[in-house]
Amino acid sequence: MAKSLRIAVYDDRYPTNFVTPRASRHRIVRKRFLPLNLVSSKLEGVTLIDPTPPADLVHAFNRIPLNASKFVISFESHLPRQFALNKQGRMARYMRSRIAGPGCRRIIALSHFARRCFLDQHADNPDLALLTDKLIVRHPNIVVPAVEDAMADNNAEELILTFVGAHFGRKGGCVAVKIAEKAIERNLPIRVNIVSSLQVGGYIWTDPTSTGFFDPYIKLLGLKNVQHHGALPNEAVRQMLRNSHFGVLATFGDTFGYSALESMSEHTPVLGTRVCALPEFLEDGVNGISLPVKLNEVGDWWSPGYDFRGDQDYAQYFRDEVERLATEAIDRLAIYIGQPKLMAPLRREARRTAEVMFGSEPAGNFLDALYERVALERTRDPAQLDPALDTSSPRSLPPVSGSRGATRQPPGGPVASAA
């Protein structure tokens, strides 16, 4: 048995949970950290971590720890996060040197989408070879509760949908309330829960910023088949998803989509968009409904452009996309009303996806072994990926009955090198 290590992680209470072990044979030490974006909004990609007591290794997430001598870092889409920086400026170059340097031992993309974003970001970086030598893919992990399907005996005569997302526009809240409106127009028994603090526009990179754009969608929260819950504790959200027919994540841009994972872990299929990392685990007609959107070359949502969010053309494009997605969604949902035999295989496969791809136990075993390997490495030596984990494309598990030939990643999610 290898000795127990002290692994320092950020004490951010929520996001880090998805990328670090839920249970570990090592001592996971949650440490205070200083988000340097509090000093300047341009410095969101770096941090200082409490140096005492010392740790064997830091497992960072998104923010590069400036005062760590040895670390691994997980990231969602871009690394370094330097969106507001001059890419040729001193700070941006320093951030890139930190992840290319010997103290950074592994770079862990949360998805193959994140990996594509990273390689695209560093296409012209002279240190690209050094970076790809460290780059692996590991999907996030969640606690899959030991609960039976709460809707197993439900007759689906009224479909219950639950949307979860603070960013109401970006995450698909507009689509969810338009589904409710169309259900009333078509006399379809569909009820929609909205769990959201209704953040829209402004700094949210997908949202139109023209004055009053979201007012018509916010007004739809008053429909008779919509219930707006505001922000809720996670356990209350999980309970609501557990008692829903579909979780809704019709997102325009999500680095992963944790609410979809939580929905599936509660046996509940997801109505989502085919964007970013969602196609890696959401399979249309197998564990949910996947709606197409126009994508750019790395798989992100195509839009007229961030700098045009205040223009009427951008607003119309967003509005048209909401309308199209809601129309396609209502057509797809209608076939499940009063059809529990059609719902059952979706629910089985949703739960299976959560167990096989995102289970916390295999993820913890993988990370524990990675920590031990990295702790033994000397920083003066180049990173050497474990050959057993060096798979450039995900493997598949055999389908189960009713899965229509569905394929899955290895238990706990795929692990891949960039090469």
pLDDT of residue 233: 93
Residue 9 included in any domain: yes
Asked if residue 401 has pLDDT above 60, the reply is no
Q: Using CA atoms, how far apart are residues 68 and 207, in angstroms rounded to an integer?
A: 36
Q: Determine the average pLDDT of the residues in 387-396.
A: 44
Q: What stretches of 2-149 show up as alpha helix (H) in DSSP?
A: 90-100, 112-121, 128-134
Q: Are 338 and 365 part of one and the same domain?
A: no
pLDDT tens, residue by residue, 23-46: 999 999 999 999 888 888 888 899
Of 331, 355, 379, at which residue does a domain stop?
Answer: 355
Confidence of residue 336 (pLDDT cuts 50, 70, 90): very high
* Cα separations in angstroms, 187 against 80, 180, 204, 328: 49, 10, 34, 16
Asked if residue 414 has pLDDT above 80, the reply is no
pLDDT of residue 126: 96
Q: Determine the average pLDDT of the residues in 326-332.
A: 98
Q: Are 264 and 213 part of one and the same domain?
A: yes
Residue 150 included in any domain: no
Identify how many contiguous H helices and E strands the chain contains and give both numbers. 11, 15
Q: Determine the average pLDDT of the residues in 298-324.
A: 97
Percent of the chain scored above 70 by pLDDT? Answer: 91
pLDDT of residue 407: 34
| Diameter over CA atoms, the chain | 68
Question: Is 161 in contact with 244 (CB distance < 8 Å)?
Answer: yes
Q: Which of 190, 196, 189 is nearest to 172 (CA)?
A: 196
Please report, for the domain that includes residue 301, its CATH number: 3.40.50.2000
Residue 148 included in any domain: no
pLDDT of residue 413: 40
- Helix (H, G, I), strand (E, B), or coil: what is residue 190? strand
pLDDT of residue 114: 97
- Helix (H, G, I), strand (E, B), or coil: what is residue 397? strand
pLDDT of residue 30: 95
Q: Are 43 and 85 part of one and the same domain?
A: yes
pLDDT of residue 2: 65
Question: Is 407 in contact with 41 (CB distance < 8 Å)?
Answer: no
Q: Are 79 and 5 part of one and the same domain?
A: yes
Report cis status (omega within 30 of 0) of the bond before 279.
Answer: no
Of 355, 373, 395, at which residue does a domain stop?
Answer: 355
Strands (E), 62-199: 64-65, 71-75, 104-109, 135-137, 159-164, 190-195
Asked if residue 101 has pLDDT above 90, the reply is yes
Q: Which of 367, 357, 356 is nearest to 25 (CA)?
A: 367
The count of domains in the chain is 2
Average pLDDT value over all residues in the chain: 91
Q: Determine the average pLDDT of the residues in 7-12.
A: 95
Strand order in the sheet with 226-228: 226-228, 190-195, 159-164, 246-249, 270-273, 288-291
Q: Using CA atoms, how far apart are residues 92 and 307, in angstroms rounded to an integer?
A: 21
Q: Determine the average pLDDT of the residues in 100-116.
A: 97
pTM score? 0.89
Burial of residue 353, with CB atoms counted within 10 A of its CB: 0-12 exposed, 13-18 middle, 19 or more buried: buried
Confidence of residue 130 (pLDDT cuts 50, 70, 90): very high
Asked if residue 396 has pLDDT above 80, the reply is no
Confidence of residue 311 (pLDDT cuts 50, 70, 90): very high
pLDDT tens, residue by residue, 346-387: 999 999 999 999 999 999 999 999 999 999 998 888 887 765
Question: Is 55 in contact with 33 (CB distance < 8 Å)?
Answer: no
Q: Determine the average pLDDT of the residues in 387-405.
A: 40
Of 326, 355, 384, at which residue does a domain stop?
Answer: 355
Q: Which of 419, 246, 197, 236 is nearest to 347 (CA)?
A: 246
pLDDT of residue 387: 55
Asked if residue 416 has pLDDT above 70, the reply is no
pLDDT of residue 168: 98
Q: Residue 302: which domain range?
A: 159-355
